[in-house]
Structure 1
Amino acid sequence: MAVRIRLKKTGTRNSPCFRVVVMDIRSQRDGDALEYVGFYDPRHQNENIDLARVDHWVSCGAQPSETVNDIIFRARNGKKLSDIQKPKKPSKKARAKVAAAAAAVAADATGGEEQKQ
């Protein structure tokens, strides 16, 4: 039997909450679970997972989903969702400066070759 560690949705429409469960790969999202190993609440940035049970199931051949894999990674490293910040995207002005500098370097490189010949 193929087993996967994934999320099972609970909560209401505008307040989602998930349980981290071990399920057969063919079962529905909210179907019967083999075991509950934790929970994940994205709105309040709470997550809890039993790493010992996850390790047991992984050793038995269970594969975690991408999201559950991220939750496991954060639990092992002791980081919370609120501690992890996404890198900021550079502003348009900063990107324009970088593009202008790259163009100037390219112009100098081509201009220098023409003078040598």
Structure 2
Amino acid sequence: MLKIRLKKYGRKKCPSYRIVVIDSRKRRDGRPIEELGFYSPLTNETTLDIHKINQYKYNGAQMSRVVEAIYTKAMQGIS
């Protein structure tokens, strides 16, 4: 099953995350199928490819709770 979840990168005490599509059995920082966005919790900066996320959701990919919250917040900002 495919999951849309966060992949951590950045240095110690300064995290940044990439929003990726990855097989659910892979480790957190494993090789993703595709990168769909970026999220920085310290600066609250978010970049998402909404079209690709919707396409993966339509094809059955599951989103993690945190990514779902980021996605809904971004969708409210668009409307």
Greater relative CO, 1 or 2 (CA 8 Å, sep 6+): 2
What TM-score results when the alignment is normalised by the length of structure 2? Answer: 0.96
Decide which structure has the larger Cα Rg and report it: 1
Letter in 2 for 1:61: G
What TM-score results when the alignment is normalised by the length of structure 1? Answer: 0.65
Q: Which has a greater percent of strand?
A: 2
Secondary structure in 1 matching 2:71: helix
Q: CA deviation at 1:42?
A: 0.2
Residue of structure 2 equivalent to 1:94: none
Residue of structure 1 equivalent to 2:50: 51
Unmatched 5+ stretches in structure 2: none
Q: Which has a greater percent of helix?
A: 1
Q: CA deviation at 1:39?
A: 0.5
- Percentage identity across aligned positions? 37
Secondary structure in 1 matching 2:75: helix
Unmatched 5+ stretches in structure 1: 80-117
Equivalent pairs counted in the alignment come to: 78
